[in-house]
Amino acid sequence: MSGPLPPSAGRRAAAVGLPLAAVAAAHIGPAVTWLPAVRRRLFPGLDGTGHPRHIALTFDDGPDPVSTPRFLDALDALGARATFFVLGDAVVRHPAVVRETVRRGHEVAVHGWSHDRPWLPTPAGDVLALRRAVDAVQDVTGSGPLWYRPPYGILTSGRWAAARAAGLRPVLWSAWGRDWTARATPASVRRTVEADVRGGGTVLLHDTDRTAAPGCWRAALGALPELVAGWRAAGLSVGTLSEHGTAAVRATVPGAASATAGARSSPVPGRTGCR
């Protein structure tokens, strides 16, 4: 029968365990920004808060040769532009889709090299993987991306450092559509987005089912026309993150800094406020 550790063994275990716990906390601690209330209150830039009369429309997980062109066609029909957060390993497989995205006036940003979960600290690996994704985008589009959204919205200390080293600005979202589930419908996506979105917000949808339920992208695609029509009816413009007044762009919009603070407390007319 085992008994309690002798005092010397207990001290050795504590000496090893405490540093490991500190490393784990330092690694995963920044992921608290995944929580909307924390992000909205303390990190409005990370929440995607921009000009109060603008909505930044963003898509994750592409490019996809089947579904992404359908979104490009729908956005053309709506006269709207968006930011597409792409995965590097898909960029090298489907470069023509990325080039077409840019040709149609959309912005390409980085979602990482692959859609992995970052539970273990791999700071050097984070830097190399993100640099590889940035290089893939630059090779295909001819210009360097500005924005980074990590897979699952989980920002670890390693991913923060990798983004900084790559010259990217991390941004998550203000509202999403929960469009990755098998039960998602155009109506459910629209209701979910409208429950949280307000002027100055960044909306997250998905243009592929790569990491989600097969075919679920059709729900986001079907929701787009009414979402865009509703925003425009509320007097809001729809576009990319670089048109949104975040980061350096905000400094070029007269009065945007003070107006953005008001946007965080003023919901879109006809919509409920954020949870």
Which residues, in sequence order, are CB contacts of 261 under 8 Å at separation 6+?
Answer: none
Least confident of 17-26, 107-116, 158-167, 178-187: 17-26
Q: Which residues are catalytic?
A: 60, 206
Tens digits of per-residue pLDDT, 21-55?
444 445 555 656 657 777 777 778 889 999 999 99
What residue has token string 């909205």? 40
For residue 252, give the CATH number of its domain: 3.20.20.370
Residue 178 included in any domain: yes
Whole domain around residue 159: which residue ranges? 36-263
6: preceding bond cis by omega (within 30 degrees): no
User: Count of domains in the chain?
Assistant: 1
Domain presence at residue 120: yes
Residue 26 lies in a domain: no
Kindly report, residue by residue over 175-208, the tens digit of the pLDDT: 999 999 999 999 999 999 999 999 999 999 999 9
Q: Cα 142 to the chain's mean position, in Å?
A: 22
